[in-house]
Amino acid sequence: MSVQHLCICVLQQNLSTFPGRLDDFSALLSASVAGFKVDPLLFSKIFCPLFHHISSSFVFCPFIPSFPQAAAPPPPPPEEEEEADEEETEDLGHADTYAEYKPSKSTIGISHPDFVVETNTLSSVPPPDITYTLSIPVCSISSGLLSALQLEAIIYACQQHEVILQNGQRAGFLIGDGAGVGKGRTVAGIILENFLKGRKRALWFSVSNDLKYDAERDLKDINASNIPVFALNKIKYGDTATSEGVLFATYSALIGESQAGGQHRTRLKQILDWCKPNFDGVIVFDECHKAKNATSTKMGKAVLDLQSKLPRARVVYASATGASEPKNMIYMSRLGIWGQGTPFKAFDDFLHAIEKRGVGAMEIVAMDMKVSGMYIARQLSFSGVSFRIEEITLDEEFKLVYNKAARLWAEALELFTRAADTLGLASRKSLWGQFWASHQRFFKYLCIAAKVRRLVDLAHTEMQHGKCIVIGLQSTGEARTRELLDENDGHLDRFVSALKLLGKIAELGKELPLNTLDELIDRFGGPEKVSEMTGRKGRVVRRPDGSVRYETRAEQGLTIDHINVREKERFMTGEKLIAIISEAASSGISLQADKRVQNRRRRVHMTLELPWSADRAIQQFGRTHRSNQVTAPEYIFLISELAGERRFASIVAKRLESLGALTHGDRRATESRDLSQYNFENKYGTKALDKITKAILGHIDNKVPPPKGYPGGDMFFRGNVILANCLFLSCIPDCTITKFLNRILGLEVHQQNSLFQYFTDNFDYLINKDKKEGKYDMGILDLAPGNDEIHEETQEKFLTPGNPQEGQVILYKISVDRGMPWEEACSKAGKLTGDYEGFYLSNKPCVLLAEQGRGRNLILYKPNIGKQAHPENLDNLLLRYYKVTPDEAKDFWKSQFDFSFTNCTHANWNGKCKLIEQGQECFLGMRLRQYHMLCGALLRVWKRVSDIVSDITNSSILQIVRLKTKQNSKQVGELMFCYLLLLNPVS
């Protein structure tokens, strides 16, 4: 009996002994096959030396490092070694990211008015069957007040609310729909459904009191205007109103307190009194990402406290940016992913496991949530949306100013250090905290100012092509403008964004740029041409005589609160064609090319200041890409050539990369637009920083050479106090990538760019090294993308523990026929016209089809493996092959195609294979590839599985693959699970 056959038998016999569970594999320790007793240690020793041969068919090789303790397999004979050039990389790649979304189990409602998509990963797993019956009137459904997509989300939310978790709390539901799918109407529909079921009270939390009017509009739009909405901020602290309806409040209201009348009152207690005991109505956490960091902020703790004190409430989390990082999911306590009855006893266990295992783990979370019926995530198609990064070249004048500022900050740091020493300050945390915060803020605004001129030029060009412009900022700098005005009796000659640390800074201030927002408005022709939608109350305006004055934004008859609404109307009617929005206008405002407005020009959304988090980025991007639009927007990210600015791109990239996996089930959902090339805040960034620090200090001999012209050695940093405090102290544990990228902003332009180049060279080297060794986490990969011959051969189902109900995992056996039939090869050959294109034959014989690639490289197709993964150089090919006609190639092609179905390349060339003669397996060049995948509710057995993977491979990566079979069955699962399990049985 072969080892491979033994593996399969042990697996099938022993898994079949667990008809109800897949969470106890202890019986494998005493497994036997046909009376053959298997000792785990002995079994592992037998298996390891043969592992690579077996893995080429049954295990995903590139992700399995070699076993150092294993003996090397016998070397093949010379003639086989010479010819063993078969391309054997796995058929894995990236297919399309999105799939058109249609409800798969819900059949009611009219189609959504816009094209909606779901990530291919999430579309590969089905939602649960529907058991809930809606009470919403048929007329509301048939009239399209709620689309089929919105009704589906309402059904699943209400169905999930019927579930009681093992800790006694009612299960919650997460709506992860993107902007434009209509989360507001969906939430209103859930409230209406419960109102009709007799639950007349609901809580609705959001980010702004103004959104109360949106809530009223959403209820009105679905014929539920009879449900009143009360604003908590309009109700006195002592009032416990008994009216039925929706109590609308902001997250900040949850931590509101009052000492009026000598009594300590809180909004939280007032809310609980309003709900009354045994409250089982709806609690909506709209824009729920605002409740992140739940254990470290009063607001977050209040969100958790409210859910804890109302255990039977029907909780709905709603946000397009539900959780940009695993740690921000802590407030979602009602999802039942951690806690009693789950594989993770507490949130910290869940967090540790997810962060340790990487992107694959996060993708499993999203899939498992959908399969379990607690999550739905659709979004408007990004078809037609374009994204590009515009790198800004700095002029010499700006570089001179920047370099002056860098030298001045270094001098200031030296003086502060001396002063602290003179005063004998024992604790300097506050001092340096303020210093470095000011340092970062100063260079941030300087980076933004460097891009203004290029942005204005781009905007004018786009407007000449009939488009209109939306410019995204996060902050306005108004507070510092007011401080400066107060010091200068209301006059403002130049805007200074730096703290006046020394007299020299005042001189430098004369050379610094104006406030970015005011300079933009000025360059576009003044407030008459630009719709400003920000939170500031005034602005600096240049007068005809060249002087500048601070003026209020208020208009006659309008309060400052209504200015943004009025400015939005001016932009949407086409009165103004340029809009500038800040974070204050990034929630709830629609600026898309709506079919119902006059200004239907294509929107060009320019991001001048990158947001500090993906939450804010997604919110701002969603202002210009929404339902009912004539055209999709264009997005342009402006980044200066200053290396230090990559820090701001980096933090957003990290959030978006993680966000794509957690909220859409597929990291690549945002990869085309998430600046992922600038994400350095990961383990590779940390290792790269450590390498360059040690190399510069002479502690190691770095394999990565410094950039050309790089000064090298410690001479490069001599006199740079700022970098010395950052880089040379990086051996201290608290020196992070964030600190490094912040501090290099304080270097002169040529220095920071050279240093950053050295850092990124090391960063790229480490990633490429891990890719070659199979240790790089690629997220979800598609198995044999473009191959139509993927077949599901067998499947075995096993129950898994769940919270509150059991789920199932399925072990699939999948076969992939990689070969290219003669008819297909002949058809492709008929379209080739190049001199070196066509059929080639070797002396063995071995036949192939060559297609012209780039330069002298050819793309090869073989009868047994189809398209070869890597191109072949023409000169190398002609050393072993000669060109033949199709008639000469035909018989060889057909023969090789048939023979390779069950035979390896060695047998094809030599009539035998020494490995097989020695009782081993060989799958080199075989047409048929077989894989085993574990699919279904993976999260429930995932910790056990990932621990085994880690023990065997010394890698925490879970390789998740996605495929579509010949029978049109979509599967997403983990590869190589069962065979690794046999190597290291779980006790």
The contacts of residue 470 (CB under 8 Å, 6+ apart) are 578, 579, 580, 581, 591, 603, 604, 605, 606, 623, 624, 633
Give the separation between CA 863 and CA 469, rounded to whole angstroms.
54
- Radius of gyration of the chain measured on its C-alpha atoms: 32
Q: Which amino acid is at 477?
A: G
Domain 163-379 matches domain 386-669 at the CATH topology level: yes
Q: Which CATH superfamily is domain 386-669 in?
A: P-loop containing nucleotide triphosphate hydrolases (3.40.50.300)
* Residue ranges of E strands in 28-146: 32-33, 36-37, 92-93, 98-100, 116-119
Q: Which amino acid is at 869?
A: A
Provide the percentage of residues in the chain whose pLDDT is more than 90: 22
Residue 104 has pLDDT above 80, yes or no: yes
| Exposed / middle / buried, residue 292 (Cβ in 10 Å: 0-12, 13-18, 19+) | buried
Residue 910 has pLDDT above 90, yes or no: no
Q: Which amino acid is at 576?
A: K
Which of 820-829, 848-857, 906-915 is predicted least confidently? Answer: 906-915
The pLDDT score that the predictor gives to residue 323 is 54
Give the separation between CA 516 and CA 474, rounded to whole angstroms.
12
| Exposed / middle / buried, residue 919 (Cβ in 10 Å: 0-12, 13-18, 19+) | exposed
Give the separation between CA 778 and CA 776, rounded to whole angstroms.
6
Confidence of residue 190 (pLDDT cuts 50, 70, 90): very high
Please give the residue that has the higher pLDDT: either 973 or 181: 181
725-770 pLDDT, tens digit each: 666 555 555 677 878 878 888 888 888 888 888 888 898 899 888 8
862-878 pLDDT, tens digit each: 998 888 877 888 888 99
753-763 pLDDT, tens digit each: 888 888 888 98
Residue 979 near residue 28 (C-beta atoms within 8 A): no
Give the separation between CA 504 and CA 634, rounded to whole angstroms.
43
DSSP state of 204: E
Tokens 């033949």, residue located: 884
632-681 pLDDT, tens digit each: 888 888 888 887 676 556 555 554 554 454 555 544 444 444 445 556 77
The pLDDT score that the predictor gives to residue 511 is 63
Torsion, Cα of 129, 133, 139, 144 (10° steps): -30
The pLDDT score that the predictor gives to residue 733 is 58
Please give the residue that has the higher pLDDT: either 813 or 500: 813
Give the helix/strand (H/E) hosting 637: strand 634-640
CB atoms within 10 A of CB 24: 12
The pair phi, psi for residue 964, each rounded to 5°, is -130, 120
Contacts from 729-738 at CB under 8 Å and sequence distance 24+?
730/689, 730/690, 730/693, 731/693, 735/689, 736/686, 737/650, 737/680, 737/681, 737/685, 737/686, 737/689, 738/647, 738/651, 738/681
Please state the rounded mean pLDDT for residues 374-402. 83
pLDDT winner (highest mean) among 157-166, 583-592, 782-791, 862-871: 157-166
Give the separation between CA 373 and CA 394, rounded to whole angstroms.
52
Please state the rounded mean pLDDT for residues 784-792. 68
**Size of the chain in residues:** 987
Torsion, Cα of 843, 846, 848, 850 (10° steps): -30
413-434 pLDDT, tens digit each: 888 888 888 888 777 778 888 8
| Exposed / middle / buried, residue 309 (Cβ in 10 Å: 0-12, 13-18, 19+) | middle
246-294 pLDDT, tens digit each: 999 988 888 888 777 666 688 888 999 899 889 999 999 998 877 666 5
Please give the residue that has the higher pLDDT: either 433 or 890: 890
Residue 562 near residue 609 (C-beta atoms within 8 A): no
The two tokens of residue 213 are 């009017």
The two tokens of residue 581 are 């929005």
CB atoms within 10 A of CB 489: 6
The two tokens of residue 540 are 């600096």
124-152 pLDDT, tens digit each: 788 999 999 999 999 889 998 999 999 99
The pLDDT score that the predictor gives to residue 490 is 46
453-481 pLDDT, tens digit each: 899 999 999 999 999 999 988 766 555 55
The pLDDT score that the predictor gives to residue 578 is 96
The pLDDT score that the predictor gives to residue 957 is 61
The pLDDT score that the predictor gives to residue 980 is 44
58-96 pLDDT, tens digit each: 222 222 222 233 333 344 433 333 344 454 544 555 555
Q: How confident is the prediction for the chain on average, in pLDDT?
A: 75
**163-379 maps to CATH 3.40.50.10810:** yes
**Can you give the residue ranges of every domain in the chain?**
163-379, 386-669, 683-776, 780-818+927-986, 819-922
The pLDDT score that the predictor gives to residue 27 is 33
The pLDDT score that the predictor gives to residue 466 is 95
The sign of the CA dihedral 934, 937, 941, 946 is positive
The contacts of residue 529 (CB under 8 Å, 6+ apart) are 521, 576, 577, 578
Please give the residue that has the higher pLDDT: either 342 or 938: 342
Confidence of residue 514 (pLDDT cuts 50, 70, 90): low
pLDDT winner (highest mean) among 209-213, 293-297, 464-468, 606-610: 464-468
Give the helix/strand (H/E) hosting 859: strand 857-862
| Exposed / middle / buried, residue 918 (Cβ in 10 Å: 0-12, 13-18, 19+) | exposed
